[in-house]
Structure 1
Amino acid sequence: MRLIDFFDRGVALDPDRLCLKDADVARNFGEVQKRSYRIANAIHGLGVGPERMAAVYSPNAAVAFECVLGIIRGANVWVPINARNVPAENAYILDNCDVEVLFYHSEFEDNIALFRRECPKISHYICIDRAGAGASFLEDVIATAAETDPDIAERRDAPISIFSSGGTTGRPKGVLWTNLVWETMIANFYTAMPTRKPPVHLVIAPMTHAAGGIGIMLMAAGATQIILPGFDAAKVVSAIETERVTHLFLPPTAIYVLLAHPGLREHDFSSLEHFIYAAAPMSVERLKECLDVFGPVMSQTFGQAEAPMLCTYLSPGDHLVIGDPAREHRLASCGRQTLLTPVGIMDDDGRLLGPDERGEIVVRGNLVMPGYYKNPYATREVSSHGWHHTGDIGFKDKDGFVYIVDRKKDMIISGGFNVYPSEVEQVIWGHPAVQDCAVIGVPDAKWGEAVKAVIELKPGAKVEADEIIQLCKDRVGSVKAPKSVEFWDSLPRSPVGKVRKKDIRESFWKGQARAV
């Protein structure tokens, strides 16, 4: 199937159902479909045909979502541009991905001059909310475009989007997603999370990442997208209650802030069916708190840009293990492999490992990208032994539940012992005074690397470093316990909310001849 066929299925279910809603716009499925026709035809009218690149640079907004659908409708390649990236990084992504048409929000007008200098392949700038400086206004561009479906035949292996990988370890790589990658992800999604009624999806995290992907997938079931411009705990809990939200996604860092919101338990969350969390390890203690506050609706997925979102799945039912000593440890897992995506654990020699053996998590199947855009070397680097190598260290238990121990590159070697930071972070996250933390290796004359915890406390909370160290010694032993603790007002985070552990680590390794 073409990716746009899934949206059209949602239209066919009920063209009058509300499709997109934000502070300025509320349109039903039929109206959004017609606007996607016009946007697709307008792009082609500019001389930018199928399989050529177009990008959307905007905060979360209904009109931005319509532009994405128009790009997909025209069989062009959607290049998501994260509004939270620094402008120079977005300029690199736009140029590296050969973008020719840029839809942008006037909030970013000041950055367009940089793009004009650094991105010579962009021939058309279209402002989505007003006329821009030297740019066209979207409504003027589509006013004369045909309101008919261009109905372009597409190959299953044709690229339809280019997502950016991380960007925390160097310049981001363009990850190719084909119609088949999307089809596989959508099939995994609905077998994991079947819908009982038309969903209501709250879009909070950037729509250029998981929240947008989930939104597109849910549209096949006629989902209404309630769009917030960003994360605000008070607005999130209010929207869940008033809009009767059934689905939402947040990374753990945002969930921790949500749990600390005063008056959280005064709201009605009974409409929720799937509260999806992913993108980073989740504190088991906070997860238990989520189950107490929101009920049996927590759903975890594991994936990455190269194998998007649904390699594994931990269902709401899998979370109902509190108090069961034989199964409660599963709360630290990311679930079992999804229907169409085999998951294995592999050693450095390409040998698949057995239960409870630690190695690199590898995946294969049609969910895996066909490669990085214009980067065959990097593609080969992650594709040895017939599997995609995620760069994550983990293991599978005898029941098939996958546990992520750490990123391969984050492992600390202290005195010859391997220390996996996430194991220590799980302990620290469980302390009631801790908002978030990062455990890293720092240079040490005796041990080579010493374990250090950098902690962000909850507002108004206090705790002594010795208490944190003793807690870790009691839970994971002296070897893994931090040798030192620092408290920072806030931890550096990436545009998608992940703690930038690399930046924290580099601050302690400056001036060193080696970084290990």
Structure 2
Amino acid sequence: MNVASLLVRAAGCAGDRVAVQHGTTTVATYSQLADRVTRLARGLADELGLHAGDRVALVMTNCPDYVDVLFAIWHAGLVAVPMNAKLHAMEFDFMLDDAGASVCLVTPDKAATVAEAPSVKAGQVRLVEVGSAGYTRLLQAEPLPMVERDQDDMAWLFYTSGTTGKPKGAMLSNRNLLTMTACYALDVDAVTPDDGLLHAAPMSHGSGFYILPHVAATARQVIPESGGFDPAEILALLPRQPNLSFFAAPTMVSRLVSHPGLAEADTGNLKTIVYGGGPRYVADARAAMEALGPKIAQIYGQGESPMCITAMNKAQHADTGHPRHKARLASVGQRQALVDVRVGDPSGRALPPGESGEVMVRGPAVMLGYWRNRDATAKTIRDGWLYTGDVGALDADGYLTLMDRSKDVIISGGTNIYPREVEEVLLTHPGVREVSVVGRPHADWGEEVVAFVVTDPAVSPDMEPTPEALDSLCLASIARFKRPKDYRYLPELPKNNYGKVLKTDLRRLLTDDG
């Protein structure tokens, strides 16, 4: 079953309903959206010569065309490869090459950056700029009937990373995406045709996944005019957009709650904020409910099981009379209906309630595996279970509390930053002998990057790894937001008897410094 069938069905049963809006301006009804999608799909297939199963990259900031492009890719039987639009040209290049993408659709603001990728310069990847004459020509093609796909065919290649620092492509099938769609309605929040989904978070990640349950319900996709998260813009938009929901990182929720305009704002049209993608604290959840009312829900998932491991809906958040309400607020909720969740020991054996171990999940939401990476797949999926790398504990009622992020991922503003890739860049400086990167709590962004550096005493004074030199090195190789915000210089890194760096000790140094 092709996930694009959700749009085909929506256009057939609710063609006159508003499908996409830019701010408050209607861009397309469902019948208009479906027509654009079928034409763009034909253009991808015929003019660009793409065939079922081919990968198509997207480097696009949030815009109404994102919906067209995603569904056109699926409609033509292709695989969408959405990328974080904030990345560096060399990071785009790695993923373009690894995915084997021959076409990349870009928004105008990202075209120059992607054009610097070596694979694009060499002509291996063709750029199509959204809104250009070439893009418009694709939209003028004759409609293409939807290409049939099996439910286990790949539909979305989602690039994530582990401790190696090199991105891995999680192969997400039609079945995975449809399971996530069903679980949203079952476990997170029921959707009606009168609802709208505001894309304030990147559509390349969680917000984009949630397009699907809202299309399934013939609800509206609302893209803010800024294309991003602006609390003042959201508060101004709410009175003009009924039944509005959006996905947000916990830090985004905190920024909205602390915005000075909230006290005077009319938030009656706010239906639900679904938060996930980073640590959330009990005090923040209570502050959000006090400021907004019982309108927040939580999900816990990974790219390998998209948006779909556990959830805690609005009613559970608001159940203040429950004797374990505070403990439940500290959790990430209960397993979603269509997956199994276990906390296991190193052998995968289920542990009893209260004991901590690795969080494991299985079911139709779990990825097919990692693209062209059998070794990583074999390590991550064993006996049908996805080993998440997160440490947690289940209580007697099935509420999961995460104890630690064992992969040491830093989550800043809802975006994952993987220490190893930053460390590898810093280690290319001749004056750096050792380095270790950790996250430090930040009031606005959740966490910020801090690098602990051990310098090489033999290096000449003109090659010393100053913060300025290390900043320049990072800016030449990785996205700006991954650059360390602070450099700490140590005579040596704390290590255990096996030579492993003790990042807990490094974090303790930051805590001791206040």
1:10 positional shift: 2.2
Alignment of 1:160-179 (within 5 A): 160-166=155-161, 170-179=165-174
Give 3-state SS (helix, strand or coil) of 2:368's partner. Answer: coil
Q: Are 2:182 and 1:187 aligned? A: yes
Matched residue, 1:372: 370
Identity across the alignment (%)? 27
Could you say what the CA RMSD is over the residues aligned between the two structures, in angstroms? 2.9
Matched residue, 2:111: 109
Alignment of 1:315-464 (within 5 A): 315-322=313-320, 324-410=322-408, 454-457=440-443
CA distance in 1 between counterparts of 2:221 and 2:342 reads: 35
Matched residue, 2:22: 22
Q: Which amino acid aligns with 1:74?
A: A
CA distance in 2 between counterparts of 1:186 and 1:62 reads: 21
State how many pairs are aligned. Answer: 435
CA distance in 2 between counterparts of 1:280 and 1:272 reads: 22
Q: Which amino acid aligns with 1:173?
A: K
Q: Are 2:196 and 1:210 aligned? A: no
Cα deviation digits, residues 284-303 of structure 1 (max 9, x gap) = 11110111122112110110
Q: Which runs of 5+ in 1 are unaligned?
A: 132-136, 412-420, 423-437, 441-451, 460-491
1:89 positional shift: 0.9
Matched residue, 1:85: 87
Give 3-state SS (helix, strand or coil) of 2:287's partner. Answer: helix
1:197 positional shift: 4.1
Q: Are 2:31 and 1:34 aligned? A: no
Give 3-state SS (helix, strand or coil) of 2:4's partner. Answer: helix
Determine if contact 2:4/2:71 at 8 Å carries over to the other structure.
yes
Matched residue, 2:270: 272
1:91 positional shift: 1.5
Specify which of 129, 139, 154 is matched with residue 149 of structure 2. Answer: 154
CA distance in 1 between counterparts of 2:314 and 2:161 reads: 28
CA distance in 2 between counterparts of 1:515 and 1:163 reads: 30
Determine if contact 2:191/2:213 at 8 Å carries over to the other structure.
no
Distance 1:314 1:115, change over 3 A: same
Determine if contact 1:8/1:220 at 8 Å carries over to the other structure.
no
Specify which of 123, 134, 139 is matched with residue 136 of structure 2. Answer: 139
TM-score for both structures, normalised by structure 2: 0.79
Determine if contact 1:36/1:73 at 8 Å carries over to the other structure.
yes
1:506 positional shift: 8.3
1:217 positional shift: 2.3
Q: Which amino acid aligns with 1:150?
A: P
Matched residue, 1:130: 132
Distance 1:372 1:504, change over 3 A: farther
Q: Are 2:45 and 1:44 aligned? A: yes
Matched residue, 2:247: 249
CA distance in 2 between counterparts of 1:32 and 1:510 reads: 60
CA distance in 2 between counterparts of 1:254 and 1:232 reads: 9
Alignment of 1:225-244 (within 5 A): 225-228=221-224, 229-244=227-242
Cα deviation digits, residues 125-171 of structure 1 (max 9, x gap) = 2111225xxxxx2112322x112x42222111111110111477502
Q: Which amino acid aligns with 1:101?
A: V
Q: Are 2:16 and 1:3 aligned? A: no
Cα deviation digits, residues 368-410 of structure 1 (max 9, x gap) = 0010000000101111343110011000001111111111244
Q: Are 2:303 and 1:305 aligned? A: yes
1:49 positional shift: 0.8
Give 3-state SS (helix, strand or coil) of 1:157's partner. Answer: coil
1:317 positional shift: 1.0
Distance 1:66 1:197, change over 3 A: closer
Matched residue, 1:220: 216
1:44 positional shift: 0.8
CA distance in 1 between counterparts of 2:196 and 2:233 reads: 16
Q: Which amino acid aligns with 2:152?
A: D
Distance 1:125 1:510, change over 3 A: farther
Give 3-state SS (helix, strand or coil) of 1:99's partner. Answer: coil
Distance 1:41 1:504, change over 3 A: same
Distance 1:256 1:19, change over 3 A: same
Alignment of 1:482-497 (within 5 A): none
1:209 positional shift: 0.3
Distance 1:509 1:370, change over 3 A: farther
Question: After alignment, is 204-213 or 321-330 more displaced?
Answer: 321-330
Q: Which runs of 5+ in 2 are unaligned?
A: 412-416, 420-437, 446-473, 494-498, 503-514
Task: Indicate the structure whose relative CO is greater, using CA pairs within 8 Å and at least 6 residues apart.
Answer: 2
1:323 positional shift: 5.9
Determine if contact 1:509/1:515 at 8 Å carries over to the other structure.
no
1:458 positional shift: 6.8
